[in-house]
Amino acid sequence: MAKNPDPALKLTTSQGVTRTLDDWSTMFHLFLVVLPARSEAASYVPIGMRLFQVFGDADCRFAFVVTGPESVAKRMLGDAESTVVTYVDPDLELVKSLGLERLPACVLLRQDTSLVTAAEGWDPREWQRVTREASELTAWTTPEVASEGDPPAFQGWPVL
């Protein structure tokens, strides 16, 4: 079950910039799409990009989190990696700190790094719920999560 993460946890981007979770959320809430380091997870990148297209200018920092090294994040995300902030979590420190048990996941954190809500696995209705809460929190438009061609609902891969 998702929980408040450690605000002192260090997060590194795919570009090699390291700061604490607290530092990353100083100005904005964090909206994270967490993907496992496996090739099948690339099918969730377009979903994340749809969310980024709406939340990109909102008062939240949209980011991908890939549970692998920089090379895996760059290969999985392709062009999206250079467009969207991407954190790498090869040791699963953030994922474990958040208490996530299944990936992909959609996570919303407040500026103080406390958990607002999360959805684990790929359930479009649950991800839509998270985006609605993000929209309410930021007074922003709510994106449509599901689209034709998306993967079917899936409980997600277990975090190992």
Both structure tokens of 85? 């902030």
Q: Does 1 have pLDDT greater than 90? A: no
The confidence score (pLDDT) of residue 64 equals: 98
The domains of the chain, with CATH numbers, are 10-141 (3.40.30.10)
CA atoms of 36 and 22, how far apart (whole Å): 23
The confidence score (pLDDT) of residue 29 equals: 96
Q: pLDDT tens digit string along 44-55?
A: 999 999 999 999
Q: Residue 144: phi, psi to the nearest 5?
A: -80, 120
Residue 136: Cβ-neighbour burial (10 angstroms; 0-12, 13-18, 19+):
exposed
Q: pLDDT tens digit string along 120-132?
A: 999 999 999 999 9
Residues in Cβ contact with 27 at an 8 Å cutoff, skipping those fewer than 6 apart: 61, 111
Q: pLDDT tens digit string along 9-37?
A: 999 999 999 999 999 999 999 999 999 99
Residues in Cβ contact with 137 at an 8 Å cutoff, skipping those fewer than 6 apart: 29, 60, 108, 110, 116
Question: What strand order describes the sheet that includes 60-66?
Answer: 18-20, 10-13, 85-88, 60-66, 29-35, 105-109, 115-120
The confidence score (pLDDT) of residue 56 equals: 86
Q: Does 160 have pLDDT greater than 90? A: no
